[in-house]
Amino acid sequence: MNSPQSDKIVVYQIYTRLFGNLNSTNKFYGSRDENGVGKFNDITSTALQELKKFGITHAWYTGVIEHATMTDYSAYGIPKDNPYVVKGIAGSPYAIKDYYDVDPDLAVDVRHRMAEFEALIKRSHEADLKVIIDFVPNHVARQYKSDMKPDSVKDFGQEDHENEAFHPQNNFYYLPHRKFIVPDNVPIPPRISTFPYEEFPAKATGNDVFSAKPSINDWFETIKLNYGVDYLNGRARHFEPTPSTWLKMRDILLYWAAKGVDGFRCDMAEMVPFEFWGWVIPEVKKVYPNTVFIAEIYNPAEYRSYLFNGKFDYLYDKVGLYDSLRRLMEGHGHTGDITRVWQQESGDFANRMLRFLENHDEQRIASNYFAKNPFYAIPAMVVSATLHGGPLMLYFGQEVGVNPTLAEGFSGEDGRTTMFDYWGVPEFQAWVNEGKFDGGKLNDDQKKLRQFYADLLHLVHSSEAIQKGHFYDLQYANSGGQSSGYNDAKMYTYLRHTDQQKLLIVCNFDLYNGTQTSINIPAHAWETMGLSAQGKYTLNEIFLYPQTININANEGIPLSINANSVRIFEIIPVK
């Protein structure tokens, strides 16, 4: 049975080359043929229908657009990349090699790779899922060259003035008369044949490095794109006439939207001027009005600029909520940080923040570099899903406790699932179960964890208060010893309410200790919900631990709560 229709966006990030890979060899720096690679075709109708049942509304296919790689596809007319400017055997999906093509790794028949991606879009839509892909606007692979662009399109750099460090109509930034120098100690597996990399004049590197020799820690495999900002002269802006890069990027977005892509997760959006976004997003929405734009952004001082001037629909909530919840999951945070987050975001954009606990950039919850136990995500995930009405995101395998413990290739052993190399993800393979997508090989703990996520998503989709309700923080009424047994550093309590539904949500982030406490709901909160502060109410528990409590509004609510757990009650007046 599918989840009911709801207004809550739940994004499931699929690292496309890993999702359907059932190979379990997992050799360090293994080749495509040794370690295997997932295909578009592996994401079957069955898989998509199961994700829909799970509670997903949007599938984000990561790594779709063709990027630089050490795997040789020259037999298919795709130029070979120089390994000195590629990270990992498979390569980074954020070093785009051709904005108008898809990654050949992902196709069963490389010659028909675009048709296979278009078929995936069709399957996704048939499963009632929206499709999101990455748009990488800030930088391209050092050997960018589009083979699949329409004949009318001029390639990036094709008409640049290469003898000028900055020109408003250039697509790249140049270091005239200087040769690019590959960083020292670029790791290349012994079996990969090398040949000198030539780039003259040198171009600026993607992470705003204006040096002919970036470091190994820079985004050395990428070239910074020029949107009309002169970085070396006070960041002077030159937006009239419309820069060439703006026009090219608009056409690329329209190209993918025309294929049925419903939204774009915009990589490092804050490294591109918000003025561009404020121009291009309306340009796309004039043709495809329902297209969703999500900005990867890490500077809270720029949030309003990118939302209200840049016209983004949603922003990453990494620096705010993710960082606060991560500290709590690691056992050393304070729930006061959650209050500070919503206060900073309240009013005009709290519902436009994308909440998450994992993605391809972050360490896995279960890893030794993070919480070490995937169940420690329970209260944090509930807060992420229910604090406000904005979108929620899960990374593939989060729901079964993926825990990377081996060095996979370029990124080493760092608690992340590799972005750069071919690999199999054993916990996720257990859910895929040879293409049945039924979790048949999951162990009992993995099944229990996945059921928690499923129950939470189903609650989100069935609750009007969570989707559309107002928010009321109860910390101020329960902290400082006002409620006996209430640990205001580890507990977090709040209300979500509409005219039709009122919820009380209590979270205990203490990983080891439960408590018997009393929850105060002050008169102002009752009145804000449109209820009497002198009334009698029934609290019906609607998540995980079914229980009914009868209360008087003017008295504390006696409540026991286990370590690392949550309790969610619907408040119902007694007639």
Q: Specify which residues 493 forms β-bridges with.
A: 506
* Cβ–Cβ under 8 Å, residues 169 and 244: yes
- At 82 the three-state DSSP class reads coil
- Region at 466 (left for phi over 0; alpha for psi -120 to 50; beta for the rest): alpha
Nearest to 143 by CA among 225, 34, 221: 221
Distance of CA 154 to the CA centre of its chain: 32
* Cβ–Cβ under 8 Å, residues 450 and 400: yes
Nearest to 297 by CA among 275, 279, 320, 278: 320
* Cβ–Cβ under 8 Å, residues 12 and 396: yes
- At 167 the three-state DSSP class reads coil
Ordered structural domains, the chain, with CATH: 470-573 (2.60.40.1180)
Read off the tokens for 431: 């859910």
The pLDDT tens digits along the chain (575 residues) read 344 457 899 999 999 999 999 999 999 999 999 999 999 999 999 999 999 999 999 999 999 999 999 999 999 999 999 999 999 999 999 999 999 999 999 999 999 999 999 999 999 999 999 999 999 999 999 999 999 999 999 999 999 999 999 999 999 999 999 999 999 999 999 889 999 999 999 999 999 999 999 999 999 999 999 999 999 999 999 999 999 999 999 999 999 999 999 999 999 999 999 999 999 999 999 999 999 999 999 999 999 999 999 999 999 999 999 999 999 999 999 999 999 999 988 668 999 999 999 999 999 999 999 999 999 999 999 999 999 999 999 999 999 999 999 999 999 999 999 999 999 999 999 999 999 999 999 999 999 999 999 999 999 999 999 999 999 999 999 998 888 899 999 999 999 999 999 999 999 999 999 999 999 999 999 999 999 999 999 999 999 888 999 999 999 999 999 999 999 999 999 98
Long-range contacts of 229-233 (CB under 8 A, 24+ apart): 229/273, 230/166, 231/166, 231/173, 231/204, 232/165, 232/166, 233/166
CA angle 266, 270, 271 (to 5 degrees): 100
Task: Please give the pLDDT value at position 217.
Answer: 95
In a 13 Å sphere around the CA of 549, the CA atoms on its Cβ side amount to 22
Task: Please give the pLDDT value at position 4.
Answer: 44
Compute the residue count for the chain. Answer: 575
- At 287 the three-state DSSP class reads helix
> What angle do helix axes 444-462 and 378-386 make, rounded to 10 degrees?
20
- At 118 the three-state DSSP class reads helix
* Cβ–Cβ under 8 Å, residues 532 and 526: yes
Read off the tokens for 531: 């209820």
> What angle do helix axes 45-54 and 444-462 make, rounded to 10 degrees?
70
* Cβ–Cβ under 8 Å, residues 17 and 106: yes
* Cβ–Cβ under 8 Å, residues 148 and 101: yes
Read off the tokens for 223: 């070239």
Listed in sequence order, the DSSP H helices in 8-112 are 16-19, 32-35, 45-54
Per-residue exposure over 47-79, b if at least 16 CB sit within 10 Å of its own CB, e if not: bbbbbbebbbbbbbbbbbbbbbbbbebeeeebe
Read off the tokens for 341: 């987050």
Nearest to 105 by CA among 27, 25, 46, 20: 20
The residue assigned the tokens 């070396």 is 232
Q: Specify which residues 491 forms β-bridges with.
A: 508
